[in-house]
Amino acid sequence: MYEAIVSPQEDLFMAVRPGQKRGMSLPAELYAEMLRAAGTFQRVPGWFVDGARRQWSIDLGGRRVDQTVMVRRPSPGPVTYSRATYEINKGCNFSCEHCYLEQRPFAGLDRAEKLRMIDMLVQMGVFWFQITGGEPLIDPDFPVVYEHASRSGMLIEILTNGSRLARPNVIDLFQAWPPHRITVSLYGAGATTAERLTRTRGAFDTMRAGVRAAQSAGLPVELTIIVTRHNVGEVEAMRQFAKDLGTPFKEYGSISPTYTGAAGPLRAQAPSQIGGGFLESEAPGALDRDGAFDDCPAGHTFFHVDPHGLVTMCKIGRDSPVNLMTEGPQGLLRLPAIADAQMLRTGGCSGCTLAGTCRVCRPLARIYQEAEAPLHLYCQHGERTSA
């Protein structure tokens, strides 16, 4: 494994270490020095040794760059992206009531095509890489795909239900090639509630075992507390569960329709939770109560890849997908325009008097409208009506 990664990211050059929140921003001349040093088998420069010691408490003194630091070359262009999410499959071993996937078939690219897809993402400069599903750890190709992406110098986050996390082969893989973050969903403070939401026996116990195994292995684990009608009375207990484990956590209480506009998941919405969004830090559309939705980078600096290699602006806006496997990176030259078209306020939002202060992206608003959801779940007009 590499101790650190140095990579271009848009107009910057970054030095990071998987699992660590601190990093270094490098000027172009120091990035070029690291690139030359890696190609000529030189030792890690003193300035990088000092920075690594300060930022990550590791000693790289006397070691060769090519053996300790993955130095990624700039994308050859003309297509360059820094972030991507990959839905490795839609299949899942849970059957959660709130899931944004209407159908969960276990289907997608074969192993060779998955690896070819990763190579194309690397060619485009993808640095921040999120692997999701369905449940990614049940995909038989996950270990090979994950290791390939890690060896290529991607900084990887995994979104998982935690049910397979305790398996020795999974722990061994992550210890050999540490992820940047493992984000585990927490569905209740105990087995009864979690099983009611996930409709899966043993969901809580396998999740808890997975988190503990990952922690014991020194892996970077975080919890996302999913607030629904089933567990809204246990929010404080779920917070305490995370604190007792010593695990960082965040909370998510905005249940959306499926990305195809089916209303089923909305039945899981807790009455006290209002908003919209998906479990993804880069996903546009989380309803922001403090300001207007603006300047979404979806389709411009990041994109989403589905199990079949179809690229869209994000998990939500899946119109006009680009087939990466047949068109290659060149096909993504169309993606910014596709994303911009989906952000236009048309249909039920055209002519809106609150458009200038709207807090939700257009693709997300559209699936709420297609689901015939109550306005107060996603629209400020609804707030005014209900006031």
- pLDDT attached to residue 384: 53
pLDDT tens column, 132-185: 999 999 999 999 999 999 999 999 999 999 999 999 999 999 999 999 999 999
- Alpha helix ranges (H) inside 15-57: 28-39, 46-56
pLDDT < 50 positions in the chain: 273-288, 385-387
- pLDDT attached to residue 107: 85
- pLDDT attached to residue 344: 82
pLDDT tens column, 209-220: 999 999 999 999
Q: Using CA atoms, how far apart are residues 184 and 94, in angstroms rounded to an integer?
A: 13
- pLDDT attached to residue 282: 33
User: Across the strands, what pairs with 381?
Assistant: none
Helix 203-216 / helix 168-176 crossing angle, nearest 10 deg: 40
- pLDDT attached to residue 287: 44
Residue ranges of domains in the chain, CATH in brackets = 4-71 (no CATH), 83-342 (3.20.20.70), 347-386 (no CATH)
- pLDDT attached to residue 272: 61
Q: Using CA atoms, how far apart are residues 65 and 74, in angstroms rounded to an integer?
A: 17
Q: Long-range pairs for 379-386 at CB < 8 Å and ≥24 separation?
A: 380/354, 381/352, 381/354
- pLDDT attached to residue 332: 97
- pLDDT attached to residue 85: 97
pTM of the complete model beyond 0.85: yes
- pLDDT attached to residue 136: 97
What's the length of the chain? 387
